[in-house]
């Protein structure tokens, strides 16, 4: 076992040359992930990165851990096999919006529902990068690409909403260039027992540059969710979120808060006292509030929540699978192959004394 205490970021960097386009947001994510690894307190050999196809899917090659670069969309399936076969391993999935939400949508939702111990890092760049720029399931409606010269006709997925709908027990969102925040989300996701999902806004500077500028460059638009804290944002926390009507949320201005330069509070939005702001509760049984928060911004063009939307405790799949094996052993004893093959009803032909009868209990 490698000495867990002395591991550093460098120990997690493989000897492979990183081949993303210069300026790609993936670099920052890779760096952050490598930086988080030593903090997990796990031996390197117990970590596995699994991926599908796409720019993001090259990720495992750059990690000095075990890695499996799979096929398009199937990473959650392969990861489920690894994680459920070997509960002692820490399994990550590095995926993209096309890989996870289009071709692999079925595996993604079931991995989250099943709650196997897998940390899914979904790099959302709202475009197909590796195949050179077609619209993806998260591209905004009307997106003009090579495959949609007149604009795409499809409403995009909101990945956080999808994850919440799929019963994920850990759902978070972060941004490639927000190193501290991203590291924090990844660490918490990795520590979560069960399936965890982190959507990471990732800039593809080649095919979809600036897709997230509204939150990536415009930091005051980041609605940073903190459990137990009022949902507030803006340079001075001058904006916030309140409950309005039936499970709807409303973005408001906070009374008595300091406005940004040139801004007058209470003009475009309702002015609401600070104590009326919604207090975020990431651990509620009911996913409704987290879902409502995810709907504040269907695509990140204005104020958009990032951070931990939801984290609840649910039985983890591999652990339960193991418990069933243990229980079967307890009830029936460790399997005895001979008695399994023999079964209950046997008869004898030839030399041995003819005994029609019952033997073994293997098939019970």
Phi-psi region of 327 (alpha: psi -120 to 50; beta: other; left: phi over 0): alpha
C-alpha Rg value of the chain to the nearest Å: 25
The option from other proteins, ligand SF4, none interacting with 26 (CB < 5 to 8 A, set by class) reads ligand SF4
**Least Å from the CB of residue 32 to other proteins:** 20
**Nearest CA to 90 among 33, 26, 45, 30?**
45
The runs of H, that is alpha helices, within 192-309 are 213-216, 288-294
Instruction: Tell me whether residue 49 or residue 317 sits nearer to ligand SF4 (CB atom).
Output: 49
In the bound state with ligand SF4, the residue whose beta carbon lies nearer, of 25 and 240, is 25
Is 98 within 8 Å of 128 (Cβ atoms)?
Answer: yes
Q: Is 356 in the site for other proteins (CB under 8 A)?
A: yes
Chosen residue from 13, 134, 148, 205 binding ligand SF4 by CB under 6 A:
205
DSSP string, 270-286: -EE-GGGSPBP-TT-SS
Record the tokens describing residue 306, joined without a space: 């990032």
Q: For residue 305, which of 237, 363, 224 has the smallest C-alpha distance?
A: 224
Residue at token pair 């004394």: 353
156 makes contact with other proteins (CB under 8 A):
no
For ligand SF4, give the closer residue by CB, 216 or 232: 216
Contact residue for other proteins among 9, 13, 14, 193 (CB under 8 A): 14
**Residue of 31, 84, 238, 311 that binds other proteins (CB under 8 A):** 84
Binding mask 226-265 for other proteins (x = CB under 8 A): ----------------------------------------
Whole-angstrom distance, CA of residue 213 vs CA of residue 205 = 11
**Contact code string over 51-80 relative to other proteins, x by CB under 8 A:** ---------xx-xxxxxxxxx--x-xxxxx
DSSP per-residue string spanning 76-130:
HHHHHHHHHH-TTSEEEEEEEHHIIIIITHHHHHHHHHHT-SEEEEEEE-SSBTT
In the complex, least distance from residue 203 CB atom to ligand SF4, rounded to whole angstroms? 8
When asked if residue 95 is in the footprint of other proteins (CB under 8 A), the reply is no
Cα–Cα distance for residue pair 355/352, rounded to 1 Å: 9
Contact positions toward other proteins, by CB under 8 A? Answer: 1-2, 14, 16, 43-48, 50, 60-61, 63-71, 74, 76-86, 88-89, 106-107, 110, 321, 324-325, 327-329, 331-335, 337-338, 340-343, 345-352, 354, 356, 363
Query: Which residues contact ligand SF4 (rule: CB under 6 A)?
Result: 20-21, 24, 26, 55, 125, 129, 204-207
């Amino acid at each position: 076992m490698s000495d867990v205490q002395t591991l550093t970021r460098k120990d997690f960097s493989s000897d492979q040359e990183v081949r993303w386009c210069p300026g790609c947001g993936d670099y920052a994510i890779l760096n952050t992930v490598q930086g988080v690894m030593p903090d997990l307190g796990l031996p390197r050999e117990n970590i596995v990165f699994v991926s599908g196809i796409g720019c993001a899917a090259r990720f495992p090659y750059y990690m000095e851990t075990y890695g499996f670069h799979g096929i398009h969309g199937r990473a959650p399936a392969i990861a489920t096999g690894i994680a459920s076969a070997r509960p002692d391993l820490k399994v990550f999935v590095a995926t993209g919006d096309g890989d996870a939400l289009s071709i692999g949508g079925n595996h993604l939702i079931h991995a989250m529902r099943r709650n196997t111990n897998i940390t899914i890092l979904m790099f959302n760049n709202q475009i197909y990068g590796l195949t050179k720029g077609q619209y993806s399931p998260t591209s905004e409606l009307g997106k003009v690409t090579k495959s949609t010269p007149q604009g795409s006709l499809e409403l995009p997925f909101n990945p956080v909403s999808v994850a919440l709908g799929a019963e994920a027990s850990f759902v978070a969102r972060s941004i490639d260039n927000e190193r501290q925040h991203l590291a924090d989300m990844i660490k918490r996701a990795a520590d979560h027992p069960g399936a965890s999902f982190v959507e990471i806004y990732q800039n593809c500077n080649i095919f979809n540059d600036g897709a997230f500028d509204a939150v990536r460059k415009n930091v005051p638009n980041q609605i940073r969710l903190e459990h137990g804290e009022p949902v507030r944002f803006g340079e001075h926390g001058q904006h916030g979120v309140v409950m309005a009507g039936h499970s709807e949320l409303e973005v408001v201005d906070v009374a008595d808060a300091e406005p940004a330069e040139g801004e007058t509070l209470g003009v475009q939005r309702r002015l609401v006292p600070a104590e009326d702001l919604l207090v975020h509760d990431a651990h509620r049984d009911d996913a409704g509030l987290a879902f409502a928060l995810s709907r504040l911004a269907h695509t990140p063009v204005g104020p958009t929540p990032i951070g931990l939307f939801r984290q609840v405790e649910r039985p983890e799949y591999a652990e339960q699978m193991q418990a069933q094996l243990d229980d079967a052993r307890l009830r029936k004893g460790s399997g005895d192959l001979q008695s399994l093959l023999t079964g209950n009803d046997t008869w004898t032909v030839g030399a041995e004394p003819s005994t029609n009868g019952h033997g073994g209990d293997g098939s019970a």
